[in-house]
Amino acid sequence: MNFKIATIVCGLLVFCVGLVAAQDNATKTTHKKVRALSGCLQKTDDANEYKLTTAKGSTWEIKSDAVNLGEHVGHDVKVTGVVSNATMHGAKEDVKAEAKEHGVAKNSTEHGHMTVTGLKMVSKSCSQ
């Protein structure tokens, strides 16, 4: 009888730990597949790609078939889109965060790739 109770308690414990870990990853912004970002939009050397730099210094290589990004070069914008390889992006950012905690790469900022599905102009000029 005690073995049965111990087995049930252990099972519940494992389930709860797994649930908490899953919720932790679900709430991390760096792990989200769909994101909203704000920053200064610039053109890159690639004909179909642009760079968004956020106020915190994060950089994003962005592209879009749905939005004419070229109309907003030099503007502060808020974009919504799908992060390329979101799972890998989140894992990479976790490693960078861990390195920061240990004094390595103290100034490392987030960098990613996104396909933009929506854009809202915030200002006609970049504040950076």
DSSP symbols for 7-58: HHHHHHHHHHHHHHHHHHHHH-GGG-SEEEEEEEEEE-SSTT-EEEE-TTS-
Q: For position 67, which CATH number holds?
A: 2.40.50.140
Is the pLDDT assigned to residue 97 strictly greater than 70? yes
Is residue 66 scored above 60 in pLDDT? yes
Residues 48 and 104 in one domain: yes
Q: What number is the average pLDDT over the span 74-87?
A: 87
128 lies in a domain?
no
Q: Are residues 55 and 111 in the same domain?
A: yes
Share of the chain above pLDDT 90, in %: 41
36 with 98, same domain?
Answer: yes
Is there a single domain that holds both residue 13 and residue 71? no
Residue 24 has pLDDT above 50, yes or no: no
Distance of CA 40 to the CA centre of its chain: 17
Instruction: Reply yes or no on whether the pLDDT at 23 is more than 70.
Output: no
Residues 21 and 42 in one domain: no
Same domain, 55 and 116: yes
> Would you state the structure tokens that stand for residue 1, as one six-digit string?
């009888």
pLDDT confidence of residue 62: 95
On whether both 50 and 38 belong to a single domain, the answer is yes
- Whether the pLDDT of residue 125 is over 50: the answer is yes
Domain, as residue range, for 14: 1-29
What does the pLDDT read at residue 20? 47
Total of domains in the chain = 2
Residue with tokens 């597949």: 33
| 5 part of a folded domain | yes
CA 42-43-45 angle, to 5 degrees, is 140
Confidence (pTM) = 0.68
Q: Are residues 93 and 108 in the same domain?
A: yes
Mean pLDDT of 60-77: 94
Mean of all residue pLDDT scores within the chain: 77
Statement to judge: residues 21 and 43 lie in one domain:
no
Q: Is residue 85 part of a domain?
A: yes
